[in-house]
Amino acid sequence: MVKIPAHVATLPGPLPEWDAQWSRLVTVDTVDGSRTFHVLDTLPALRAQGREPTGTILALHGNPTWSYLWRGLAAATLAGAVADGGAGAGGRIWRVIAPDQLDMGYSERLEHDALPTTHGTGYRRIAERVSDFDTVVQQLLPEGGALAARETRASADSRTADSPTGKLATAGSATPQPATPAHPIITIGHDWGGLLSLTWAARHPELVDAVISLNTGVHQPEGMPLPVPLRAALSGPMLPTSTVLTDWFLRTTLALGQGPLRPEIRDAFSSPYRGLDARGGIGGFVADIPATPSHPSYAELQQLGTDIAGISSPALLIWGPKDPVFVDYFLRDLRERLPQADLHRIEGASHLVSEDADVPGIALRWLAQQFPAEQAPGQQARASEETGAVEAAVMAAESSTDELAPLIFEALDQRAGDRAIASVDMSHKPPQQVTWRQLTRVVDGIARGLQDLGLQKGDRVSLLVTPGNTLTAVLYGVLKAGGVAVVADTGLGVAGMSRAIKAADPKWIIGLKPGLTLARAAKWPGRRLGVGRFDRLERAALGIETTINELSRTRSQVPIALPGPDDEAAVLYTSGSTGPAKGVRYTHARLGALARTLREQFKVHEGTGWVAGFAPFALLGPGLGISSVTPDMSVTKPRTLTAAALADAIIAGKSTMVFASPAAHKNVVATAGDLTEAQRASFLDIELVLSAGAPVPLSLMDQLAELFPNAEIRSPYGMTEGLMLTNIDRDGVAAAEAQSRDHGVCVGKPVSRVSFALAPLDELGDTTEELLIGEAAAGILGEFVVSAPHVKAGYDVLWDTDRASKRDALAGLTWHRTNDIGHFDAEGRVWLEGRLQHVLSTPLGPLAPGGVEAVVDKVPSVSRSAVVGVGPVGTQAVVVVLEPEADARLKPGIAPLELADAVRAAAREHYPHDIAAVLVASTFPTDIRHNSKIDRLRLATWADSVLRGETIRKP
C-alpha cells in the first residue's frame, strides 16, 4: 500500500470573511507524537482592540469542513454587539478557539495509506480525535483565563455547597440565583465535530459550563440505513474514489445548503483540500464511521453516547431540518440524551446550517441569557424608575385575578350524567348528535385506552381528524390522558403540515385514513391509531395498532392518571401568513384560563350553545360546558360556510351563538337570499354573533345585524398565541369611528385579566425597548405587548423566536410581543393598523398601512385596499393597491386618474405622506386559513414589478 508522508499545511492566504489575525499554528504532544494544528483563535485580535476575554467558546468542525466554518462566530464576537442584546451591550467578551482537526483544514497531514479503508492505518479514530481536541484546548485555555476560571468555579462551588438553599443569591434579587462563572467555557460543534465536542464536554464537567451543537448524530440504530451521501461514499471502491481520488464528497457536502454557496466561499472551504495528498483526512474520517458492530470505532461510539447523556450543564441545539445526513431521528436521539437542551429549529436550513442562517446570533443571544455580565451600578435602579408606571397599571389590572381556573376537560366531568346534547356534527347525514353522558364515557374510554397502550404524560399526539364529534372526543381524551395535542390543520397545506408535524415530533398519530396515508408517505413520526374502519390489509399497510372505536370501549376501572396545571397540553399552529407556521405551546392552566375568559365574556348560561365555524373554537365548546355544533363546511376553508348550512346547524343544536371568521360571515351574507323561511327564522334565536381571525369592518357588522336582528355583534381580537385579548361590539365600533379621528380597526378594550402596553417604533419602523401604558401611550404608533393567564407558554422548538417574542418581566408577568401595530386612543381603546413587518419606512418616519387603508376603503368603487412600501428602507415610497368593487370593471395595473386622485385626496385629509402610485389588482393574495389576511409582502413585490414596467400578472 502506497503511503502519503506527513507534512504541515501552509497557512491560508487571503480568504473572504477571514481575518489573517485569527490563524495560528500550535504544536502539541498527542497520543502518537508531536503534531502541529492550525487554530482559529481570536485572542490576538481581541488584544489588538485592547480587550481581554471574559468567556471562551471552543468550536470544532466536522468532515470535510475546517475552522473556516466558524468565521461568522469569530466576526460576531469581535464586533462586540449582537442584535437584540448580546456581547457588547454590557455583555461578555467571547474568545473563539477553533482548531482544525488533524488531516483536515490547514493542520498537519499524517502519514497514512493513500487509499482509505475501514481498517486502514494512519487515520485518526474517534477516540484519538477527542484526545487531540483535549490536547490543543488544554494548552490554549490558560491564555484565556481558564485557570482562573477553574479557581473561581471551585470557589463558587464551595460557597454554593455552604449555602442553605444550595444557590447563590445575587444582590437585590428576591430569590436565590445560581452562580454565574467568572469566565464561562462553552463548546460548540457541527457534524462529527458536534459529537466530539459534546464528548469532550461530558468528560470535563469541571471546565465546561454549557454546550451548543449544530446538526450532528450520536447513535445509528441497527437496521436504520446510513444517510444516502454516506452510504454512497462507504460503498466498497467508492470510498477512496469519492473522498480522496476525487473531490466528490467535498463538493457534495458543500452543496448541502439552502442555496448554493457563493463561489468565493465554496472555494475557501475547498482551499485546504486541493490535491490527492491533501484529502486523505476526508477519506479517513468517512472510513471511521462505525456503521456496524465489527467496526474498530463502534465500541467507542457507544461509549461517547453514554458519556454525552451524562451532561447536566445548559445546552442549546441549533438544527437545520432539511439535512439529508443527520435526519430527524438524530435530533430526537440527541434531545433524549440532553433533555435540558433548548432547541431552535430553522425551517429551510440544511446540513450547513451555519451557512444558511444566523447561527452566531442565535448562539450569542443564548449565551447572553445564560451568562449575563455583571450589571453596571445603578442600572437596575434606573430601570425600576422607568417601569414603575407600567408595573402599577399592571398590578391594578391584575387585581381581578382569582384562583387557578378549572382545567379544560373538567367541564365534561361536571356534566357526566347529563343527557342533553353536547355536540352535533352536521357533516353526517342525518346530523350526528352526542349527549354529554355519551361524550364523557367515550372521552374516558379513550384516555384509559391510551394510557393502557403506554401513552406517558407529555407524549405528543398529532391529530389528523377533521373537526366534528370524533375530533372533539379524541382531543379531550388525549388531554385527559396527559398527552399533548398537536393540532396542525389542512389549511397549512401538505408542505406546511409536514413541516409542523415533523417539528413537533409526535410519539403518536391519530388519524382518518387520508391523514394516516399522508403520514406514511411523508414519513411522519409516531405510533399510528386509526379513526374509522380499516381492514386487515389497511392496518398493516398504514401501521395501525388499533382504532379509536376500540379504545373508546375500554372499561378499565383503574383511575385515569390526570395531568397537572403546569403540564403541557397542546401545540397549536399559527396560520403561516407571515412565514412558516409556528407551534404555540399551551399548558393545561393556560387552556383553563382561556375557557374561563370565554365563559365570562360570552356570558355563558344554561341553554347556551354555539355554532363554531372557526377552526380554533370548533373544539372549545365542551371545555366551556356548552353544546357545540360543527356546520357542514370545510372549517379550514371559511368561505365554504353558506347561510343555509349555518341555519341548519343552528336548528340542529338549538344554538344561541355563532362564531365564524370574517370570510365565512361574508359568504353567509352573500348567500342569505337562498334561505327558506324556517332557516331565516332560526336566525332570530341567536343572541350573540362573533367574528375573529382578521379585522371586521363596521360595514360587515351592519350586514350581520340585519341577518341577526336580536343578536349582539361582537369582534374579539386575538391570535393563536392568545385567543381572546380585547372585545368590542357593533355599537362600540360605530361610536369609536364617530367620536374620534383615529383610523385603523378599533378592537375595543382589554378583557378581564389582560394587560396591554405599547412599545413605540423608531424612525425606521423598528420596535424600541421602551414600554408605555395609559395616557402616556395615547396616539403613539407602536407594537402592542400583552400579558394574560391564557397567553401562550412559548413557541415550540424555536428558542430564539420565543426569546424575541417576550419582553422583560414586569410586576411578575411575562409580556408577549403581538407583532401587531397600532395605537391607543384617548379612551384607552386599541386600534390595529397592521403587522410590524408591514410598516412602511418613509422619509417622514414609520407609517402603518392600516390607518391609510381605513380611509381609502371608503372611496367609491374600492372594495378594499392595501398600502405597501416600495424602495429602500428609510425612503420607501407609499403605494396604494386597490381591489375594486365587482361592478367597477377596472383592469389590473395603474389606476385610472380620477380614481387615483380620489384616493390621494382621501388620504391627504389625514396623513401628510405623498401617495407615489395607486394600482389596481384583480384580487389580493391572502392566507389559506382565514382567507382574509392580505399577503402584503407578496403584494409589495407585485407593485414593485408593475412600477418597473414589467408584465402585469396576478399578484
Residues composing the chain: 955
CA atoms within 13 A on the CB side of 894: 10
* Residue 376 pLDDT level (bands cut at 50, 70, 90): very low
* Residue 563 pLDDT level (bands cut at 50, 70, 90): very high
Dist CA 881 CA 856 (whole Å): 10
Residues near 18 by beta carbon (within 8 Å), at least 6 away in sequence = 12, 68, 71, 268
Name the residue with cell 341548519.
Answer: 648
Which pLDDT does position 111 carry in this prediction?
79
pLDDT digits (tens, 9 = 90+) for 144-169: 445 555 555 555 444 344 433 333 22
Q: Is the pLDDT of residue 930 over 50?
A: no
Does domain 421-587 fall under CATH 3.90.180.10? My reply is no
Q: Is the pLDDT of residue 398 over 70?
A: no
Q: What is the DSSP letter of 104?
A: S
| 577 and 835 Cβ atoms separated by less than 8 Å | no
Residues near 461 by beta carbon (within 8 Å), at least 6 away in sequence = 450, 455, 478, 483, 484, 485, 486, 506, 507, 508, 509, 510, 526
Identify which of 73, 40, 18 has the alpha carbon closest to the alpha carbon of residue 362.
73
| 707 and 678 Cβ atoms separated by less than 8 Å | no
Dist CA 423 CA 415 (whole Å): 13
Q: Is the pLDDT of residue 557 over 50?
A: yes
Single-letter code of the amino acid located at 233: A
* Residue 692 pLDDT level (bands cut at 50, 70, 90): confident
Which pLDDT does position 305 carry in this prediction?
92
pLDDT digits (tens, 9 = 90+) for 842-867: 999 999 999 999 999 999 999 989 99
* Residue 219 pLDDT level (bands cut at 50, 70, 90): confident
Q: What is the DSSP letter of 708?
A: S
Domains 375-404+729-838 and 421-587 share a fold: no
In degrees, rounded to 5, the angle at the alpha carbon of residue 924 between the alpha carbons of residues 723 and 617 is 20
Which pLDDT does position 402 carry in this prediction?
52
Dist CA 369 CA 364 (whole Å): 9
Identify which of 847, 846, 823, 819 has the alpha carbon closest to the alpha carbon of residue 835.
819
Q: What is the DSSP letter of 122?
A: S
**Lowest-pLDDT range, 87-96, 107-116, 131-140, 346-355?**
87-96
In terms of average pLDDT, the best of 382-396, 623-637, 856-870 is 856-870
Cα-Cα-Cα-Cα dihedral sign, residues 360, 365, 369, 371:
positive
Identify which of 619, 637, 615 has the alpha carbon closest to the alpha carbon of residue 628.
619
In degrees, rounded to 5, the angle at the alpha carbon of residue 680 between the alpha carbons of residues 677 and 681 is 85
Helix or strand (DSSP H, E) at 886? none
Which pLDDT does position 124 carry in this prediction?
87
CB atoms within 10 A of CB 320: 27
What CATH topology corresponds to 840-955? GMP Synthetase; Chain A, domain 3 (3.30.300)
Q: Is the pLDDT of residue 380 over 60?
A: no
Mean pLDDT, rounded, for 613-627: 83
Mean pLDDT, rounded, for 427-453: 94
Q: Is the pLDDT of residue 56 over 70?
A: yes
Mean pLDDT, rounded, for 30-35: 92
Which pLDDT does position 336 carry in this prediction?
94
Does domain 3-161+179-221+229-370 fall under CATH 3.40.50.1820? My reply is yes
Identify which of 223, 1, 217, 228 has the alpha carbon closest to the alpha carbon of residue 119.
1
Which pLDDT does position 737 carry in this prediction?
85
pLDDT digits (tens, 9 = 90+) for 236-280: 567 788 888 899 999 999 999 888 899 999 999 999 999 888 998
Which pLDDT does position 231 carry in this prediction?
58
Q: Which three cell numbers stand for residue 73?
A: 462566530
CA atoms within 13 A on the CB side of 147: 5
Which pLDDT does position 117 carry in this prediction?
62
Which pLDDT does position 297 carry in this prediction?
87
Mean pLDDT of the chain: 87
Which pLDDT does position 580 carry in this prediction?
84
Identify which of 800, 881, 804 has the alpha carbon closest to the alpha carbon of residue 317.
800
What CATH topology corresponds to 375-404+729-838? Luciferase; domain 3 (2.30.38)
Q: Is the pLDDT of residue 891 over 50?
A: yes
554 or 481, higher pLDDT: 481
| 755 and 786 Cβ atoms separated by less than 8 Å | yes
Mean pLDDT, rounded, for 762-776: 90
| 276 and 172 Cβ atoms separated by less than 8 Å | no
Where exactly are the structural domains of the chain?
3-161+179-221+229-370, 375-404+729-838, 421-587, 840-955
